[in-house]
Each structure stands twice: as structure tokens, then as C-alpha cells.
Structure 1
């Protein structure tokens, strides 16, 4: 056999071997990509900003809805585990440890506390309200706070008093156009949410600091509430005088005020706003940096799936428990004011 022919046969053999090797490699890559598109379990933890039982019931259909939407994004998720955290910090801790993959409806203040352990992927939008004044007495016309067609990415915390004698005295002063003093507030009975709750703790503390050079830690009488529902029950019964809450909380519990809490008059007649905080950026959807499934590709698919889910009728029912109307992409810098607020709050708490 001639040398040229021998060399040609060897070259051809090498080329065929290379093609076969590439084909085999490509097959393995394709198989791995397919495997990566299957998620055994996605663990989602909701914050208990409303009655935990109500949240659990409302969000139960989310598992199948999200599985369907993720399927459209090319991911097969075998199981979606939906739970409600015992408090705001419990959700943050679960994300930080990797025990939860996704934190849902997480306030900016909780995000600020755990920002080294999580990424924010979406921010909720809510219907704007027909009351948004910084002047407390503007909220006290006895009429319901109503949603508008305008979508908002921020909300207020309002300091609400109830039918107790002290609560009525504080409201009377505010509605007369008089300024409250620290002495007016320090001995009242306050109901406060967990320390990372933006509307129920952090921003009310900053409001006290801005107006009276004090924080919630200086108040003489405080109790910690596990949800706004239980807090409003205490407010209705007179156990507490002041309850900080998100701006449309009274609307969410208007029926319960008379049917569950046993009040004769409406919540709009028996409660008053005595303080309004600056705007707070809306709740976020966070993902754990410790999660083994939260690759950049899956995060992208999850964002698209949640946004698409929010456009369906069944999805809207799930979102309604938090008054969410939809979602927009979010980044860490969106919450810089929340980070500053949390930093100041932590400093003042020392």
C-alpha cells in the first residue's frame, strides 16, 4: 500500500473517531440539560402578613398553577411545597439556611435583614389607594379607603387607634389639628409586629424617631402580635390603643371588625389614623442563595412563570390574599431606602 493512501486512511479514521466522540459528548450534554430541567421539589414560604390560615387556604392552588406555568418555561417540577412561616423572621431564616427556595410576599425590611443570603427577583404591584396623604387627619373622614386603577410599587404604614379611651383621646387631638407629643404616646398600649415587619415595626419606629427622637423600644407598654388580624382583634377589644399596619389593612379586615371581633360600628367609624410613615417599597419575592436549584436559568423561568400566573383568573385569586395585582422585575438597588431604614432601626434599637 502506498504511503499516501495509508496516511489518508489513518486521517479518515481519526476524523470519524472525532465525529463519533463529539456526537457522544453532545448526547451527554443534551441528556444533562434535560435532567437539569427537572426539579424534584420547589419549596415556597409565604410571610404571615395576614391570618396564616387564610393565607394557607388561598395559596393552596398555587402548587399546581405554578407547575403548569413552569412547564411552559421548559421545567418539570415534580412537587411544589407551599407553607406559611410562623413569622417574618422564620421565612428569612428558612431562606438563609436553604430550607426554603422562595420567600413570597416578603417586606423590604425583612429582605434588608437577610440580603446577604437572598436575591430579590420580583416586586409586587398593588392597586393604589384614594388616600395617600402624609397628614393623619386626612384619613379620618369615616369613609372607607378604596383602591384606584393606578398600580403602585410602594405603600404607607399607618398608626391606627381603636375604641379604647386612650385611643380615642389620641385621635381627638389629631383630628382637632393638634400635634401629638411624646408624652401622649409613650404610655399608650401598642401592638407591634415582628422586628423585621416594615409596616408593623420598622417604619413606625422611624416615624417616632423623626417626630419625637424616640423609637418603639422607648415605649412603656408593647405587645408583639403574630398577625394583623390578631392585632386588630386586640385593638377592637381595647387591649391595645395603637396598632401600626399597612395602609389598606382596615379594608382587608372591615368585615371581620363586626362579624368576628364583635364591634357594633364599622371599622371606619371606630378607628382613626394618628400617624403616617413615608412610602415603603412593596413586598418582594426572594430566592435563597443557599438553594441548590436556584440557578440563574431557573430564576429566569420562575420569574416568567410567576408573572404569567398572575395574569390568569385562578392566579389572581391566589395573589388577592396579599392584595397583589401583578409583579415587575426587581433588583437590590430598588430597596436601598429599606436598607437604610433597617440600618437606622437596628442602630436605634441598640
Structure 2
């Protein structure tokens, strides 16, 4: 009996040793490829998206990013065990998580980045198709009408002050096209259509432009109406109910057909409207990283920059980032968003 017990103990011991070896092999398997490739191993990379669309829609659309980013980062020296993608309950939640270091990467608007730049660092700016004109001088926009789409990618877009076919609108346009500077009295003689106070192109950046050029703002104008959409703002302009509207740079392209078909004008929108002011560039969305993430350093930032740029060049990558209307990415610096800082400061003063 003792021999049998000894034999059983020997068998159990052998099984235990083999199991231990098996567990060891399993736990070391993830590290093997990293050791062989010389890559740095990261257990998890967390990415947060703002809820600018339905959260479930964003989650579904960005699921392929996990594999795309894992594969691309492996080429750049990082083996990532898991890419965790979440959608914040609101924009501020993503900014706060970046600041706290509980998120490593965030796809956030420029305004959100500026609010949380004490704990977040911008590394990339999203690009979209640019326009054939990108000038500070409104006369250049008028001399090169119509504005067309460009093959070049742009990291920002302009806000424009559009004068319409009314007598006052035409008088302002004539002055600009003759190379004369508009006075505050000129601007204040017009009736204006603006958007809500949270709209970058329809309110915030035009207010910044007025402040920088005339030490005035939208609330100082005598005649201002708030349109509920850019379409209704153009309808007012076409009807002569307002003389000037503020909008994004390619809005006339979006309303060219409606100018005649819906708003009842006989001539084209390009013949009847002119630019009388141009805002500074309004920078696009960002990819930002946490300054307080445990894993973030200069090498990882550089790899993430390269990875997202490369992913955006692939068909599958373009499909993923199209959820935010992004077409590509370019490297960014904090100073790119200085105008956003000025704009937010102005908005705080107005409120």
C-alpha cells in the first residue's frame, strides 16, 4: 500500500510540475513576441471619444480602430495588449479623464482641449478638404469667386462675414472691393444675422474679429437677429431682411442651389453676395494625450502621431475616422489653438 501511495504522490507531483510549466508558458507568451521584436509592451491603451454622435454609433464605428492601432503601433515599436475605447457621457467628461490620467488618448474638439490643456496635450489636428481660397483679405474672396473645393487638406476653416443683395449690403461690399477699410459706423448701419452664442463660425469667432479690429463685439451692434440655422440666415439675407450674416467659409457652396430654388433669387449667390470680413482660422478637432498618464512619454506620443496619420491613409482607417468627418491628421502644437483660447476668454467676458 505504501508503494502505491508513493506512486500516486509521484504522479500528482509530476502533474503539478507540468501544470506550473504550462501556466508559466501561458503567462510568458505575450512577452515572447515583445522580447523577440524588441518592442515595448503596453498592457492597455485607453482612448476616449466625445459623444458628438450617438454613443452606440461611435462605439460600433470605431471598433476596427482597436486592431488597426494595435497593428500599426507594433510596426512602430509598441506591442499593445488591449486597446480600450470608451465614449464619454459628455465632452467635459473626456477632458476631465485626460487631465486625471484615467484616459491616455482623447479625440476631442479644439475647444475642449483648450479647457483642459493643463492636463491634456494636443498631438494631432484633424484635416478635412480645404477650399480654393484661404485669405485674410475679404477682397481676395470676392475676386476669386466662386469658392471651390480643394485637393489640399486643411487643419482649419474660416468664418466669413457675407454681405447680401440689400442696398446696405451692396454698399459695404463696394467699399471693401474698392480697397477701403470699413468703419464701425459702416458695420453698425447694417442688420446682422448670427447663430447661437456657442457657434464658432456663427458667433464666437466673428465676435473675436470685431473685438480685435474695432474693440467692439456682436452685442454692440444695433440690429442683430439670431437665426435658428444657416439656411434660415441665408433666406433672410436673400429676402433683404438682413444685410450681413456670419457663417463658415463654404456655406455659400452649400446654399448655392437654394439661393434660387428656395429663396427666390434670379441671380446666383456668387453674383449677389460678397465677403466683407474674414475670421482667423478655426482649428479642427484634436487628438490629445494625457499629461498625467502613467504610460505617456515623448516616444509614445511620437508613435501615436505616426500611427494615426498612417491609419488615416488606409481605406479602413478613413471609414473609422469618418464618424467625426475627419479625413486625415497633421501634427499639431499648442499654439495652433491660441485663437481658440482668446475666443473662449471673450465668451466668458460676454457671459
Q: Scaled by the length of structure 2, what TM-score is found?
A: 0.63
Pick one of 267, 273, 290 that aligns with 1:271: 273
CA displacement at 1:273 relative to structure 2: 1.2
Asked if residue 124 in structure 1 is aligned to residue 126 in structure 2, the reply is yes
Unpaired stretches in structure 2, ≥5 consecutive residues: 1-20, 35-39, 74-78
3-state SS of paired residue (2:50): strand
For residues 284-310 of structure 1, give each alpha carbon's deviation from its aligned partner in whole angstroms, at most 9, with x where no partner exists.
2234668x7985587666544432221
User: Quick check: 1:43 aligned with 2:48?
Assistant: yes
Specify the SS of the correspondent of 1:268: helix
How far off is 1:131 after superposition?
2.0
Partners of 2:141 and 2:131 in 1: CA distance: 11
1:259 Cα deviation from its structure 2 partner: 9.5
Within the candidate set 244, 263, 269, 1:242 is matched to 244
Q: Quickly say closer, same or farther: Cα 1:245–1:319, change in 2 above 3 A.
A: farther
Contact residue 110 and residue 196 of structure 1 kept, 8 A: no
Question: Structure 1's 36 and 342: CA in aligned 2 closer, same or farther, altered over 3 A?
Answer: same
Tell me if the contact between 1:154 and 1:280 (Cα under 8 Å) persists in the aligned partners: yes
Query: CA contact under 8 A between 2:96 and 2:116: conserved in structure 1?
Result: no
Q: Which runs of 5+ in 1 are unaligned?
A: 1-19
d(CA) in 2 for partners of 1:179 and 1:346?
26
The 3-state SS of whatever aligns with 1:37 is strand
Corresponding position of 1:135: 137
Pairing of 1:224-303 with structure 2 (within 5 A)? 230-238=229-237, 241-251=243-253, 253-254=254-255, 257=258, 266-287=268-289, 295-296=296-297, 302-303=304-305
With over 3 angstroms needed to count, the CA separation of the structure-2 counterparts of 1:315 and 1:246, relative to structure 1, is: farther
Please name the residue that 2:346 is paired with: 345
- Root-mean-square deviation over aligned CA pairs: 4.8
Give SS of 2:145's match.
coil
1:11 is matched with which residue?
A: none
Aligned position for 2:10: none
> Does the 8 Å contact 2:147/2:250 carry over to 1?
yes
Shift of 1:127: 4.8
TM-superposed deviation, 1:267: 4.0
User: Given that residues 197 and 203 in structure 2 are in contact (C-alpha distance below 8 angstroms), is that contact kept between their aligned partners in structure 1?
Assistant: yes
Please point out which of 309, 312, 322 is paired with 1:310: 312
Q: From the superposition, tell whether residues 149 and 81 of structure 1 become closer, same or farther in structure 2 (CA, over 3 Å).
A: same
1:48-67 pair list within 5 angstroms: 62-67=61-66
Classify 1:45/1:302 alpha carbon distance in 2 versus 1 (closer, same or farther; 3 Å): farther
TM-score by length of 1: 0.64
Secondary structure, counterpart of 2:134 in structure 1: coil
CA contact (8 A) 1:117 1:288 kept: yes
Question: After the TM superposition, which of the residue ranges 131-140 and 321-330 deviates more from structure 2?
Answer: 321-330
Distance 2:279 2:242 in 1: 20
SS of equivalent residue, structure 1 residue 98: helix
Equivalents in 2 of 1:80, 1:106: separation in Å? Answer: 17
Report the 3-state secondary structure (helix = DSSP H, G, I; strand = E; otherwise coil) of the residue aligned with 1:133: coil
Secondary structure, counterpart of 1:121 in structure 2 = strand
| Bigger Rg, which one | 2
What is aligned with 1:15?
Answer: none
Equivalent-residue separation in structure 2 for 1:349 and 1:323 (angstroms)? 31
Alignment of 1:1-40 (within 5 A): 37-38=43-44
Query: Are residues 1:328 and 2:330 paired?
Result: yes
Distance 1:166 1:79, change over 3 A: farther
Whether 2:194 is the aligned partner of 1:191: answer: yes
- Change over 3 Å in CA distance of 1:133–1:37 after alignment to 2: same
Find the aligned partners of 1:315 and 1:260 in 2 and give their Cα distance. 38
What is the 5 A alignment of 1:195-210? 195=198, 197=200, 199-210=201-212
Q: 1:145 to 1:284 in 2, by over 3 A?
A: same
